[in-house]
Amino acid sequence: MSSKLALCDISLTFAGGGAGPRERRGVQAGVPVLDGVNLRVGDGEFVSVIGPSGSGKSTLFQVIGGVLTPSGGRVLLDGADVTGQTGRISYMPQSNTLLPWRTVLGNLLLIREVEGTADAEARAEAMAWLRRIGLDGYADSYPHVLSGGMQQRVAFLRALLSPKELLCLDEPFGALDALTRQEMQEWLLSVWEEDRRSVLFVTHSIEEALLLSDRIYILSPRPATVIREIQVPFGRPRKEEIRHDAAFIQLRREIYEGLRS
Ligand SMILES: Nc1ncnc2c1ncn2[C@@H]1O[C@H](COP(=O)(O)OP(=O)(O)OP(=O)(O)O)[C@@H](O)[C@H]1O
């Protein structure tokens, strides 16, 4: 499988200074956060990254998105060096980022508008997706009338409709209650299996990573480095019932122990 994304030996040390909020959270200037991270996402592959809180997962995404330039290493997209370049990936952050003053359809077409490609075809595609996820009745509504789960569906759809070939999802269901989160995982699985975009997904949940991914990288505590790579052996289309499978439970235990050690 060819690589959509490759991170080659990525290291990052925040320069910083002073006693700002970061320092109060325990990071001093000059302390390394990423320490030689190597990982890849194949074409059409769903890859998850799990790591302890504060290990540097969001920082890694900022490096991939070009918002932060690493102190060492390279970011390759389709084999081209894009280190420090923005605008190359589609990114969905942890919290809801729908613009409250734009309708659902307006939010979905935002990226296309910025890129000057919000034509009738883009609009029809957005409407078709809204129909497919049962939210077409909300096209002209504003985000505040949607539940948290519905808003995250729209935010995910917005990332999916962006013409970028790599989707980076940073713990997109972290703020949802357990039941909605489970529904969203099933929903994401079914939508992704139709689209098969290359995805890099950050999560704290071992179960979520096992349910959704083809491969999982486990990061060490800060400074983060990859301590283990796991090939998820379950076929697709994947059903939610897989959570009760003996192999699933065994693998979940193994990853948990890997994270603890
Ligand atoms: N701009 C910055 N300057 C200094 N330190 C920073 C900066 N951004 C992040 N950090 C520190 O780097 C470390 C990694 O942060 P990051 O947000 O990447 O972790 P994370 O694994 O995504 O955490 P969580 O799982 O809790 O979301 C943290 O200790 C954080 O305080």
Looking from the CA of residue 25, the nearest atom of ligand 1 is: 31
- In terms of phi and psi (left: phi > 0; alpha: psi -120 to 50; beta: otherwise), the region of 249 is alpha
**Burial category of 85 from C-beta neighbours within 10 Å (exposed 0-12, middle 13-18, buried 19 and up):** middle
Is 223's pLDDT higher than 80? Answer: yes
The pLDDT tens digits of the residues spanning 39-82 come to 999 999 999 999 988 889 889 999 999 999 999 999 999 999 99
Testing ligand 1's pocket by substitution, the residue of 12, 13, 14 carrying the most ligand atoms inside 8 A of its CB is 14
Q: Domain-by-domain residue ranges, the chain?
A: 1-13+31-89+164-260, 98-163
In this predicted structure, which of 22-36, 108-122, 163-177 has the lowest mean pLDDT?
22-36
CATH number of 1-13+31-89+164-260: 3.40.50.300
Nearest CA to ligand 1 atom 26: 53
**Which has the closest alpha carbon to 219: 42, 56, 40?**
56
Distance CA 34, CA 59 (A): 8
Report the nearest-CA residue for atom 24 of ligand 1: 53
51 touches ligand 1 (CB under 6 Å): yes
pLDDT band for position 22 (cuts 50, 70, 90): very low
The ipTM value here is 0.94
Average pLDDT over residues 28-35: 81
- Residue closest by Cα to atom 9 of ligand 1: 59
